[in-house]
Structure formats: structure tokens, C-alpha cells
Structure 1
Amino acid sequence: MSESSQATTHPGDPVRPLLATPAQIAAERTLLRLLDDPLLAELRAEIRKELADTPRGRSESGAATLDHAVDEWTNSLIMAEIAVHQEIPAIILVTDNTPRTWMGHTVPGIGTSGDNPDAVYRLAVIDGTRRYEVTGRFDMANRPAQVTLELHRGSKVSPPPMDGKKSDLTPLASISDRDLDVAPDGTFRFTIGPNPEGAVHMSSQPGQLTLGFRDMLDDWTQQPCALELHPLDSTPGLHASDADVLQAIQRDLPPYIRFWSGFPEGWFGGLRGNAITPVQGRNGSLSGFIAALSFDLADDQAIVVTTQPNDAAYSGFQILDPWMIGADVTRHQVSLNTAQSRANPDGTVTCVISKSDPGVANWLSTAGLRQGLGIVRWQAVPGEPDVAGFVREFRVVDAAELAQLPDLIRVTPEQRAEQLAARARSYAVRAS
């Protein structure tokens, strides 16, 4: 990791996208260098062969998406190792299933499990015995629907055991943007360390910790907040070479991929066929609710799902492959949030999940797959809502019945093309 992640900018330098911090670009360039390692290619091939012989790997849709999943998990582990081996801790964007081209290079998709395209996932790995300050700024005219901040033990490299009924681990500390003291110009500050220091503080414990951030975008024209991490103590810098990081990757990649490839088996107790779980509460700062679903559709079948937004600050619905990896959201309409959906007259939202385009505005594409998984999320829901009313309808229909449903909002092929083009344009905003 010879390229410094702490490079500074100077007056007259070209304006960078908000997320393209020096640490971010250094991490991405390191990722691209490490991906060229021939031993890593051999290791990925061995892992792929192992997974191809599992029931999920032998299924039609699992086999079709296995290469993509292994690529995304590999990139995810490499970014996690880079975060651990940074010379000085810095906040970097570590997850985005959709590739992006910027700053003179193309970053491949980086995915783990159920990664939400409406979320901007950033993290820093810190020492729990030391003190830090985080400063940030919101674009007050384009502020995210919600920002969650969590402090967890360990790092993303070695996922700890997870409760199969929940989607998130219980953090050491968690806050949201509602807890921050945000100035009129959008700036804010909070501290992290063993003892409280500022008005807004996250208490740490000894050991390696991960500070995670999620900007939830209910509209893709919203902007993630600017963030900087400042060590307040004298911190001895790490001096890890590419060879050091590669050695760690070669050690950690097999268990990492085995964990995440097997995660769908226990997720919400394991889902099969065409089914949806009861709505459940979420842990930590997400302060919301989640439902999981699976689908196994014939070519002429679809699933009709009607949900109630419940005045949530953020609500979104996404489709995943059998490995819980998402497709490129700029090419496939595999997710819909509040801004992208067309509501029914009563405020509910009806979506149609299908392999081929049914000509419905709220189509959730399976990206050509017959089998896969899905997630519905509601975050920052006011009051104490009755979860029984969150999902109003979930049923399988054939193409003939779908064509006759009277209340679905329809679109023409030209309108669909513009809908997809608008997705690509708005998704690019976060990288601008």
C-alpha cells in the first residue's frame, strides 16, 4: 500500500466528488493492483469450484450468478483488508454492487450481502483505546433521509456470528443524524473514545473497532454527508506493503466467502419458494423494520406485493440473487424507493416482481433470474406502528391474471426506457 491515503488537496486542484477523498482513491487503486495477483486468481477459482458443488451453486440461478458473487465478495474482502491496514485510520466507501468510473479508473462492484443501493456504506477501522473526532457537513438542500452511525467490535474481515432472525449485529454504540448537533450551515462534530468528551460521543472499548456510516437516500438526488476522521491522540502509523495485504487476503478470503455464501441458508431461518417473512424490528441506530422474501418463479409468473410506507423517513424494496448480491442498479430496475415508486390512491405501493417486463411502473426486475431473494425496509418510522399492516399483499399470479389487474399503474416501452435512463443519471449523483 505504497500510495498515501492521507494526501492533501491544495488551492487550484480540480474539484473532487464528495466521496472521492484521497483515502478513497488510494484504497481503490490498491484494490485494482491487488486484483492482478495471479495467486489470488487461483484462490478465487478454487473457491468458485467449491461453491459450484453446493445446492445453491447447482441451482439454475445460483450457477448463473456464482462468478459475479465470488468477484463481489473478493472485492469486498480486499477493501476490508485495506481499511484494516491503513497507515492512519480514514473513512472509506467499502460497498457498492454497481461499478463506477471516476478519477481515472473503473471500480468493480463490491458486495457482501443484501447491500442496499439506497445506502452509502462507509467505515473506518480504529483502536478502541484511542480518541477520535469526526467532523462532517450536510448539504442542507439535499440531505439524506437518514444517516446511521454505529461502532462495532472487530472488523469486516472476520464477521462474528449473527442472529439468524436479525439483519444487523448489536453495536457497542449507535447514533443517527437525529442525535447530532447540526449547525445551520450543515456542519457537525462528534467524538469517539473510552471516556465522554463532546456533547455527542460514542463510547469505545479496548480492541479493534469498526466505525460504520450509512447515508440512507430516499431519493438518489440526495447527497451523502461529507465526513472526516481525526485522531486526537498520537497514533503510531501502520506500514503495510501490498505483499502484507495480499498475505492477509489469501489467509482470510476462503473463510470470508464461505461465511457470506452460506449466510442465506440461515437468514431469517432460511427462505424457500415464494414466501415473505413477518415484519421484524431492526437493531442499532436503524430504528426501523425489515421483511425478507424469496422467489422461485416460472417464466410466466410474477409476485404482486403491496406495502404501506408508514411515513418512514426511508422506505425501499430490493431484489437480490440467490447469494444475496445485487445486480447493477443502473442497468436493471432491481430496487425501488419512495421517490422512484408510484403510490396507489390510498398511499400504499404495489410492486410486481418478475423476470420479464410486465409493463408496470413499479416493476422489480429479477435481472433475468427465476430464483432469488428480496428485502423490504422501513427506517425512522414514527410512533409505534402495527407491523401487521406493513405488508398488505403478497401473492403469485400468472401473466394472464397480471394483465387483467385493474389498479396497476402501467407504462409504455418508451416510458420504461426513460425510467431506466433516469435511474442511471440519478445514481451517478453520489459520485459527482
Structure 2
Amino acid sequence: MCRTSGSIRPMGCMRTAGAIPAPGVLMFAMTSRKAVWLLGALASAAVSAADGLQEPWKNFTEDLQQVGARMEARLPERLRDDPQVQQEAGTLILQAMAREVLEALGADESHPVFLPSLGAVINIFQPNADTVYLNANVDDHGSYRLRGQSGSVRVIKMAQFRALADEVAFEEGPSSFQALSYNDFNDLSIDDQGRFDVLLSRKRPQGYSGDWWELHPGTGFLMIRQMSSDWANERDWRVAIERLDTGVQRDRPSAAELEARLSRLSRRIGDVALSLVTHVEDMRKAGYLNRLRIMHTPGSLEGQFYYEGAYEINASEALVVEAKVPEDCVYWSAILTNDIYQTIDWMNNQSSLNDAQAHVDADGVVRFVLSLDDPGVHNWLDPAGHASGAFQGRWTGCSSTLIPKVTKVALADLDDFLPADTVRVTAAEREAAIRERRMHFQMRPLW
């Protein structure tokens, strides 16, 4: 006989109301127009199929179903009926979920740890291909100690942000993702074994003469950015954090605390996933299609100048993006995003280039070529099949900050447009470069 109560049924039994959907039903859901609802639907099915789950968990899964509806309503009209974009939007929800679940499980202002916040897998908020991002929640009245091993990356800075309670916005206001303060690890004292040790608190402890950073009022979390140009040879810093004004051991979390973490999770997943999905469309509507502008980004890195614009090409076209490289510059780069502002896969494609990877021509100009097919030039930016999206660049610590020129050319005429000393690559050389790129990226501390 088939068991009809609970969640366990022998193979071959008819599916009863509330049971987990069969594979065929899931496949239909995945290929339907409302694919972005899949995450919430699966979670809801799992809840209704099991006995004795707590009310907070049931509420969480029910609230989670609304994330798909919010996403579908937020997608630009141009993209809303595209099944490819629908699935990518569903993936964006999953990535936001991964980030927020990590925080719900591991973030603790009394016993903090730096957790991965965005990157190649958690591809939200349009991460920079060269940056490792780590977050730790803190109490702005607490006293903390950061210590570890120094590295050799170009830039390592820590931002102090207020806690976010809504979607990230580009405008000033409660949702604005703007840093309250920045701290530069390169300003710290390093001992003869490469170690550092710095206190972070509202006030410097009386009589303390070591490295100290002020913890600004309103700070809810810290974000470390480590930017590397030479992935093969530059070493990332290793950073640990602990709180000094609480007990060294961590007590068992209370039921109320665990419930509170779960209760705010579904809303945060939606806020994170939806934050910037219209940004590329907004640039198109503002007239920045195949044109670039200064970018005022939420959470922008101190000392970094951003520019960006939407792009659109077909298989017979290419965009040439060119700029005179500043005489002095700590770091510069260019990346591509898709239409919902996720950075295009840079581990498996050359969708980004930086000052150590790109070739600068003899006239001091860097020229990037954006095309759907590989044109056989070193500075090709690969959109990985995305005929439209965004182009973004960074000048960091540079003596000048130019907005590059963008020219659309016929792919057949590209060789006539580029200078004679343009570096070319064969298909075999491109494949070898991608394999090296992938290996060196994976060697960085991504988790």
C-alpha cells in the first residue's frame, strides 16, 4: 500500500496533494514563462510535504514565493518575455539567496568572520572581475581586532557600511550603498614576518600605541576589497577578525535569534536580487547606448573613477573602445555585464581585461574590441553570447581619468580600423590563455 500521510511514498504511488512535484512537472516549470518562480515553488512544496515544521519556516517559504513575482514585474519590458533572460533572472535570485543564506548562517556581530559576499558564483551587484569581496557584520559600539598575513595585491581596502534594510539604490538616501569610511591595509605596520595587527573601535584605547582605526557610528558591516591585476603572481592578504569586548566563546544561539534571522531572510533575498536589474535599461533610456558616461555607483571604492554605458551589437559588428592610458595609475580595467547587470563569466571567458592583461599600443592607447565572435586580437572582450549588456571601466589611483571613445565598425573592416601594431592571437593561443586565466583565478581565495 502507498503511504498517503507525511512525505514518504513508495516508488510508483500516485502523487498526493502537497507532495514534491515529479521531475516532469519541474521540467515544465523550468521551461515555462514563470521560471523565476521556481525557487519559491520548490521551497513551498517541500514545506507542505513534511510534517511538524515550525511556523517561521513555513512563513519564510511562503514569502519566498513572492520574490519571483517581484522579479518578473521588475524586468524591463524589452526583456520580460525572453525565456533566456527569465532563466537568468531566476539564477540571479538563487545567487542572492546564496549570499543571504551565508549571512544568516555565519554573520554574527559578536563573533564575526569575513564571509564571501559577491564574485563569480554570487554574481550580484556587478562584481569586478579582479576583486575578492569579503563582508563581516559588526556592532558599531563594539571593539574589534583584525590581524593576519600581508600580501602583494595592488589594492586592499576596507569600507565601513551601514546595515542595509532595503534594495540597494544609486541615489542618496536610506537605501544608498555608500561607505561611511575607508581604511587602507597598506597603511598598517607590517612586522618582519609579514604580519599585521590593528584595533577597530569608537575610540583609541588609552595608552595603546599600535595600529588603530576608528569604528564610525552607524556601521553595520565591513567590506574588504582585494584587487589583483596579475592573478598569477600577486598574493592576497589573509585577514581574521574577532571582537574583544564580549566573551571569547559563543553561546548557543537562542530560538528567538534563529527565528529572527529566518524571518528577515526572504525579504533580503528579494531586495538583493532586484536591486540593479533595471540599471542597463536605464542607461539605454538615458541615451547611453554604445556611449559611455561617468558612473556614480553605490558603494564605489575610494579613489576609483568609474565609467560605463550600455552596448548592443550584432554578429557583423564590433565596438572599439579606446582611451589614452594615464601616465601614473595604480590599476585600470574593463568588464562586461549582461542585460540584468551581472558581470559576464570572467573565469571561463575573456570578458574582462586589466592593466596586467591588456596590451597598450605604441601610441599609448589601449583599444578594447567587443564582438560576438573572436576577431583574433589580443584585447578582445568576449560577451559570451550576450549581444547587449553594459561596458564598464575603472581608473584607480590614476593621474587622469578619461571617458573612452566608442566606435562601432563593421567586423569585416576591423583590421583597417586598428593600428598596424595591434597584437594578434591565434585560436590555439586564445585557448591556452583562457586555460591559464581560469587556473590563476581559481588559485585566489574565493571562499
- Give the TM interval when normalised to the shorter protein: 0.7 to 0.9
Shift in alpha-carbon separation, 1:283–1:332, aligned structure 2, 3 A: closer
**Higher gyration radius (CA):** 2
Looking at both structures, which has the greater relative contact order when contacts are Cα pairs under 8 Å and sequence separation is at least 6? 1
Q: CA deviation at 1:245?
A: 3.9
Shift in alpha-carbon separation, 1:392–1:42, aligned structure 2, 3 A: closer
Letter in 2 for 1:163: E
Alpha-carbon distance between aligned partners in 2 of 1:126 and 1:268, rounded to the nearest angstrom: 38
**TM-score, normalised via structure 1 length:** 0.77
The answer to whether the 8 Å contact 2:236/2:445 transfers is no
Q: 1:402 aligns to what SS in structure 2?
A: helix
The answer to whether the 8 Å contact 1:52/1:58 transfers is no
The answer to whether the 8 Å contact 2:110/2:246 transfers is no
Q: 2:186 aligns to what SS in structure 1?
A: helix
1:75 paired to 2:98: yes
1:353 paired to 2:370: yes
Alpha-carbon distance between aligned partners in 1 of 2:219 and 2:305, rounded to the nearest angstrom: 29
Q: 1:261 aligns to what SS in structure 2?
A: coil
| Aligned match of 2:33 | none
The answer to whether the 8 Å contact 1:61/1:322 transfers is no
| Aligned match of 1:15 | none
| Aligned match of 1:403 | 415
1:112 paired to 2:112: no
| Aligned match of 1:426 | 440
Alpha-carbon distance between aligned partners in 2 of 1:162 and 1:321, rounded to the nearest angstrom: 18
Shift in alpha-carbon separation, 1:392–1:206, aligned structure 2, 3 A: closer
Q: CA deviation at 1:76?
A: 2.8
| Aligned match of 1:203 | 214
| Aligned match of 2:115 | 92
Give the 5 Å matches for 1:22-421: 37=43, 38=46, 39=61, 42-43=65-66, 45-51=68-74, 54-58=77-81, 62-63=85-86, 65-85=88-108, 88-97=111-120, 109-139=121-151, 143-155=152-164, 158-159=166-167, 161-163=169-171, 169-197=177-205, 199-207=210-218, 209-221=220-232, 222-234=234-246, 239=253, 245-264=261-280, 272-278=288-294, 286-310=302-326, 311-381=328-398, 385-387=399-401, 390-407=402-419, 408-421=422-435
Which segments of 5 or more consecutive residues in structure 1 lack a partner in the other structure?
Answer: 1-33, 98-108
Q: CA deviation at 1:189?
A: 2.0
The answer to whether the 8 Å contact 1:304/1:397 transfers is yes
Shift in alpha-carbon separation, 1:250–1:169, aligned structure 2, 3 A: closer
Letter in 1 for 2:239: L
Q: CA deviation at 1:240?
A: 6.5
Shift in alpha-carbon separation, 1:144–1:267, aligned structure 2, 3 A: farther
Q: Over aligned residues, Cα RMSD in angstroms?
A: 3.3
Alpha-carbon distance between aligned partners in 2 of 1:183 and 1:393, rounded to the nearest angstrom: 46
Shift in alpha-carbon separation, 1:351–1:49, aligned structure 2, 3 A: same
Alpha-carbon distance between aligned partners in 1 of 2:226 and 2:245, rounded to the nearest angstrom: 28
Q: CA deviation at 1:374?
A: 1.9
Letter in 2 for 1:393: K
Q: CA deviation at 1:430?
A: 0.6
Alpha-carbon distance between aligned partners in 2 of 1:195 and 1:159, rounded to the nearest angstrom: 32
Deviations 1:385-419 (A, max 9, x none): 343xx345311111111133342322111111111
Letter in 2 for 1:324: Y
Alpha-carbon distance between aligned partners in 2 of 1:297 and 1:64, rounded to the nearest angstrom: 22
Alpha-carbon distance between aligned partners in 2 of 1:345 and 1:237, rounded to the nearest angstrom: 62
Q: 1:369 aligns to what SS in structure 2?
A: coil
| Aligned match of 2:31 | none
Letter in 1 for 2:220: L
Deviations 1:354-387 (A, max 9, x none): 1111111111011101110121011122xxx343
Deviations 1:29-55 (A, max 9, x none): xxxxx9984438745544454345744
Q: CA deviation at 1:270?
A: 5.1
Which segments of 5 or more consecutive residues in structure 2 lack a partner in the other structure?
Answer: 1-39, 47-60
| Aligned match of 1:27 | none
Alpha-carbon distance between aligned partners in 2 of 1:35 and 1:327, rounded to the nearest angstrom: 28
Q: CA deviation at 1:125?
A: 0.3
| Identity of matched residues, % | 18
Q: CA deviation at 1:114?
A: 1.8
Alpha-carbon distance between aligned partners in 1 of 2:211 and 2:311, rounded to the nearest angstrom: 43
Q: 1:329 aligns to what SS in structure 2?
A: coil
**TM-score, normalised via structure 2 length:** 0.74
Shift in alpha-carbon separation, 1:49–1:308, aligned structure 2, 3 A: same
Alpha-carbon distance between aligned partners in 2 of 1:227 and 1:427, rounded to the nearest angstrom: 19
Aligned length: 376
The answer to whether the 8 Å contact 2:281/2:339 transfers is no
Shift in alpha-carbon separation, 1:58–1:199, aligned structure 2, 3 A: farther
Alpha-carbon distance between aligned partners in 2 of 1:400 and 1:36, rounded to the nearest angstrom: 48
